[in-house]
Chain A
Amino acid sequence: EVQLLESGGGLVQPGGSLRLSCAASNFTFSIYAMTWVRQAPGKGLEWVSTIIGSGGSTYYADFVKGRFTISRDNPKNTLYLQMNSLRAEDTAVYYCAKENWGSFDLWGRGTLVTVSS
């Protein structure tokens, strides 16, 4: 079964850091762009960042530029999101998703990040 499984969420203080991981299984991970999408409690979906299959290009929403870094380890079939300088408004469930020609055809179950003192 094709699958994405996020981990690494938790409670962190404002200004702190957290690293999310997303383990992919049963598809050719290295040929697909991968994306992080987040959803604040009771709110809609919000694109965060995308990385192409090779890892050579990355793209970010304006609200995370300079604070978050997306990366991938293709031999390990794993996607990462390094989040620094976290703010209360970054509190959300973070989903990783596989892109397929502009849409996201596979999603993980999400990992909750809570930024609070």
Chain B
Amino acid sequence: ENGLTQSPVTLSLSPGERATLSCRASQSVSSYLAWYQQKPGQAPRLLIYDASNRATGIPARFSGSGSGTDFTLTISSLEPEDFAVYYCQQRSNWPPSYTFGQGTKLEIK
């Protein structure tokens, strides 16, 4: 199984600051690397798919990058509504299976 490790576990920043979240895979990942945002009591929301493509309706301050085993989600200037938990996710091709990272909690400093 291709595990995903996210860092840091918790990130404390202020509105307006830049956030950089990391996701590292234990084996090289195909292009199926996604990022989700989850707020308390809500379902996850897709932010980024295929490592660097923003999902429909996602603001341009969210960007994804990386390849192979190292991936990054960047939020260029934090808005108050961005404080949430973020998960990365990958799909293994065969047999199809899906793995989520353990999450990074982005909290207000």
List residues of A whose CB falls within 8 A of some B CB: 35, 37, 44-47, 50, 59, 61, 95, 100-105, 107-110
Q: Is the CB of A103 within 8 A of B49?
A: yes
Q: Is B34 an interface residue (CB 8 A)?
A: yes
Further 5 A-B residue pairs, CB within 8 A, beyond A101-B50, A105-B56, A107-B44? A37-B44, A45-B87, A102-B50, A103-B46, A103-B89
Interface size class of B (residues with CB under 8 A): 20 to 34
Q: Is B83 an interface residue (CB 8 A)?
A: no
Q: Is the CB of A46 within 8 A of B32?
A: no
Closest 7 CB pairs of A and B: A102-B32, A103-B34, A47-B98, A107-B43, A102-B91, A103-B49, A45-B100
Interface 1/0s, chain B 29-72, versus A by CB < 8 A?
Answer: 01110101010001111100110000110000000000000000
Cβ of A50: which chain B residues have Cβ within 8 Å of it? 96, 98
- Give the docked Cα–Cα distance between A50 and B97 (Å): 8
Cβ of A59: which chain B residues have Cβ within 8 Å of it? 95-97
- Give the docked Cα–Cα distance between A45 and B103 (Å): 8
- Give the docked Cα–Cα distance between A104 and B32 (Å): 11
Cβ of A44: which chain B residues have Cβ within 8 Å of it? 87, 100-103
- Give the docked Cα–Cα distance between A110 and B31 (Å): 27
Q: Is the CB of B43 within 8 A of A95?
A: yes
- Give the docked Cα–Cα distance between A47 and B90 (Å): 11
Q: Is the CB of A45 within 8 A of B44?
A: yes
Q: Is the CB of A102 within 8 A of B34?
A: yes
Q: Is the CB of A109 within 8 A of B55?
A: no
Known: A45-B87, A47-B97. A104 touches B46 (CB 8 A): yes
A103 nearest in chain B by CB position? B34
- Give the docked Cα–Cα distance between A102 and B55 (Å): 13
B38 nearest in chain A by CB position? A45
Contact of A102 among B45, B49, B95, B100 (CB under 8 A): B49
